[in-house]
Amino acid sequence: MLQTRNGKRTAQAALKIACDLVDEGMRTEQEAVAMIDPRNLDTLLHPQFDAKALKAATPLGKGLGASPGAACGKVVFTADDAVAWKERGEKVVLVRLETSPEDITGMKAAQGILTVRGGMTSHAAVVARGMGTCCVSGCSEINMDEENKKFTLAGQTFNEGDPISIDGTTGNIYGQIIPTVPATIAGEFGRVMAWADKYRTLKVRTNADTPADAKKARELGAEGIGLCRTEHMFFGEGRIDAFREMICSSTLEEREKALEKILPMQQSDFEALYEALEGNPVTIRFLDPPLHEFVPTEEADIEALAKTQGKTVEAIKSIIAGLHEFNPMMGHRGCRLAVTYPEIAKMQTKAVIRAAINVQKKHPDWKVEPEIMIPLVGEVKELKFVKKFVVETADAEIAAAGVDLKYEVGTMIEIPRAALTADDIAKEADFFCFGTNDLTQMTFGFSRDDAGKFLTAYYDTKIFENDPFAKLDQVGVGKLMEMAIKLGKPVNPKLHIGICGEHGGDPSSVEFCHKIGLDYVSCSPARRRSFVR
């Protein structure tokens, strides 16, 4: 024998081989699970291009493969167009310079998303992975002219309605329609995943912001929600208006009045979440993004808001201009909002507690125990300050209802200083949840939305071998995580610890999380499926 190497096999084949080996008594179930490379499984769960058609096609360009799967359709340039075209039965691919929270409905309507700017954890990429929608991001070769609804790539001009296909695994972009075939899950896949569930100790939660997502995730086996981003609930019909009124209020009374309008809507969302989770844990993160992400940009919307508020258009514009930040990622967000506007966190506390009380009443056999998560804490006094009025508000609600309800107040560990001072923070926190997206940004000192500009050079020069936003940097970010656990656990032995960044869906990062003693990982439903049946 002169040479040996691993036999290459598709994910399907690997599953079949593993099952056969167990059936023939050659391998134990544990060994069979360990034989499967989890990275292969993701591909199994998304539509792929028809192999024959793909072979005949030549890519025009390449971006980052930001969310797996394949998509084809007609080019549209705005979220509204995506919705309108879909309604009349067209398959569309949404192409944008970059996406923003206002594009969500359009992103949902599209088969795939293609952006000119942004990295693996840009808005488009994160949201697309969350939705399980194919996405190619950061294709800077594209010369975009959003105003005139056209772009050029490799000399070819694309107008609205032109055919395009994108591959969210390879990042390839094609100037034609390549048919896709849906994902199929063969029986072996289910068997292997059942064995994995049987032997693992790490719990698997899901990131879910809507009752629909939560329900779907639960059906797929999620053992809880590790991250519910409450701000995503503010963009719906009727809510965004009230939230904008809150932002543009001049007094505490005005702000509270606007928040009162949102309270019942948040409460009903939370009730539906608790219903979907059937007594499994739900971690609700309080408002995180800076307020300027919510304000209107269109003249007509600004005028409408001015009218509702009884203010002049200039006054509203001045408020919006005042929200401008040089570095929004490091700006007035997270618990800094709760410190400056406690009324927001109080409203969210009421919504969480009232929802939990109602659902617990309906299902006395479930254990509904809200986990309130305060984001972006960097100093224990910050958490203490916010926790004080959260607890006061929660206890008052519970007392008023005359029930007995337990709840927890914990924090994200996503600021380096939180990890460095975790012994102090653990005194006030019932749980830690590593927000490794932000923690990676701050530890490396680069913004995930801007890193695309230089990361290619970093890969080319072998300075980086992986995207630190996709695969956890165990040397630096991981060191902070280990430090936080070592400092926090002795102070508060009951402290439970999870992760809810993108890394919660990456196999090697999950392995590291298991090794350093985390209790659970939480990731977007589409990624979670790789771990949970």
Which residues in this chain contact a second copy in the complex, by CB under 8 A?
140, 143, 318, 322, 325-332, 336, 339-340, 376, 378-379, 381-382, 385, 414-417, 420-421, 438, 441-447, 449-450, 453-454, 457-458, 461-464, 473, 475-477, 479-480
Q: State the minimum distance, in angstroms, from the CB of residue 506 to a second copy.
A: 19
Give 366 or 444: the residue with its C-beta nearer to a second copy.
444
Q: State the minimum distance, in angstroms, from the CB of residue 326 to a second copy.
A: 4
Q: Are strands 134-137 and 64-67 parallel, antiparallel or unpaired?
A: antiparallel
Contact 287, 247 (CB under 8 A): no
- What the block records as the tokens of 135 is 């996405």
* Catalytic (active site) residue 123: yes
Q: State the minimum distance, in angstroms, from the CB of residue 417 to a second copy.
A: 4
Residue 378 CB partners (closer than 8 Å, separation 6+) = 415, 417, 418
- The DSSP code for 151 is E
Instruction: Provide DSSP, 221-278.
Output: T---EEEEEGGGGGGSTTHHHHHHHHHT-SSHHHHHHHHHHHHHHHHHHHHHHHHHHT
Other Cβ atoms within 10 Å of 501 Cβ, number: 28
- The DSSP code for 376 is S
On the 0-12 / 13-18 / 19+ scale of CB atoms within 10 A, 269 is buried
Q: State the minimum distance, in angstroms, from the CB of residue 449 to a second copy.
A: 4
d(C-alpha 392, C-alpha 266), whole Å: 19
d(C-alpha 142, C-alpha 397), whole Å: 54
Give 140 or 170: the residue with its C-beta nearer to a second copy.
140
Give 147 or 237: the residue with its C-beta nearer to a second copy.
147
- The DSSP code for 175 is S
- Taking alpha carbons only, the member of 233, 215, 208 closest to residue 275 is 215
Q: State the minimum distance, in angstroms, from the CB of residue 267 to a second copy.
A: 27
Give 61 or 370: the residue with its C-beta nearer to a second copy.
61
Task: From the candidates 500, 503, 513, 523, give the one annotated as an active-site residue.
Answer: 500
Give 397 or 473: the residue with its C-beta nearer to a second copy.
473
d(C-alpha 379, C-alpha 98), whole Å: 33
Give 121 or 230: the residue with its C-beta nearer to a second copy.
121
Give 41 or 66: the residue with its C-beta nearer to a second copy.
66
Which residues are 166's β-sheet partners? 71, 173
Give 9 or 453: the residue with its C-beta nearer to a second copy.
453
Which residues are 114's β-sheet partners? 95, 136
C-alpha distances out from residue 432 to 282, 285, 516, 519, Å: 14, 12, 14, 10
Residue 243 CB partners (closer than 8 Å, separation 6+) = 234, 258, 262, 294
Task: From the candidates 123, 232, 496, 503, give the one annotated as an active-site residue.
Answer: 123
Q: State the minimum distance, in angstroms, from the CB of residue 54 to a second copy.
A: 32
Q: State the minimum distance, in angstroms, from the CB of residue 297 to a second copy.
A: 16
Exposed e or buried b for every residue in 236-266, given b needs 16+ CB within 10 A?
Answer: eeebbbbbbbbbbbeeeeebbebbebbbebb
Q: State the minimum distance, in angstroms, from the CB of residue 393 to a second copy.
A: 17
Give the residue numbers marked as catalytic. 123, 500
